[in-house]
Structure 1
Amino acid sequence: MKARLLRIQGRVQGVGYRDWLVGEATAAGLTGWVRNRADGTVEALLAGEEAAVGAVLLAARRGPTAARVDRIEERFAELPEEPGFQRRPTL
């Protein structure tokens, strides 16, 4: 199992990015969460099997149709304690 904390920059708020990522992560069997940040970025914690995390990270680089991902900052993270993949309130 591996976990990555992502900070996604670009046109990622107001374009369905969080709901799209919930669908991608859930379909891949990942746990974690996604939320908007007040600075206009999206933050996400992806946790699961290495191949599944890598596949969702690759998908996150293109995002849904209306989004434009300019940059993703990625770092190692602790595994989440909660089951499933949730959309969290804005931080």
Structure 2
Amino acid sequence: MLKRIEAKVVGRVQGVLFRDFTRRSALRLGIVGTVENSPDGSVLVVAEGEEDVLQQLLLILRKGSTLSRVDKVEVLTKEATHEFQTFEIRYSNLWDRL
């Protein structure tokens, strides 16, 4: 059964390619959804897939990338909405696109 997780990743996760790391990890696992920076310095991940695969993604997020430092990951689990076709980075402002 497909599930949805909404995860807030807290720590040094902005400006260290964490969104790209998350996107590549999700695509490798066959997960769809989005990742975006939050104004409070965290990164928000919305992902849909099989529950066991989502748990794998959460392990990856908790470990973090080489340049990041993950202090905590807050997770909500819900039913999948099937609104995503792929996994993409959402950009909140022009600076993120440069």
Same fold by TM (over 0.5)? yes
For structure 2, list consecutive stretches of 5 or more residues without a partner in the other structure. Answer: 94-98
Write out per-residue CA displacement over residues 35-70 of structure 1, whole angstroms, 9 at most, x where no aligned residue: 001110000011101111010110000111010000
What corresponds to 2:76 in structure 1? 75
Q: Contact 1:9–1:70 at 8 Å: present in 2 too?
A: yes
2-side partners of 1:80 and 1:45: how far apart?
Answer: 12
Distance verdict in 2 for CA 1:39–1:25, change over 3 Å = same
2:50 aligned with 1:38: no
CA RMSD, 1 decimal: 1.3
What corresponds to 2:61 in structure 1? 60
What corresponds to 1:25 in structure 2? 26
Structure holding more helix per residue: 2
Write out per-residue CA displacement over residues 6-36 of structure 1, whole angstroms, 9 at most, x where no aligned residue: 0010000000100000000000000100000
TM-score of the aligned structures, taking structure 2 as reference length: 0.87
2-side partners of 1:50 and 1:68: how far apart?
Answer: 25
The share of aligned pairs that are identical, in percent, is 35
2-side partners of 1:36 and 1:79: how far apart?
Answer: 22
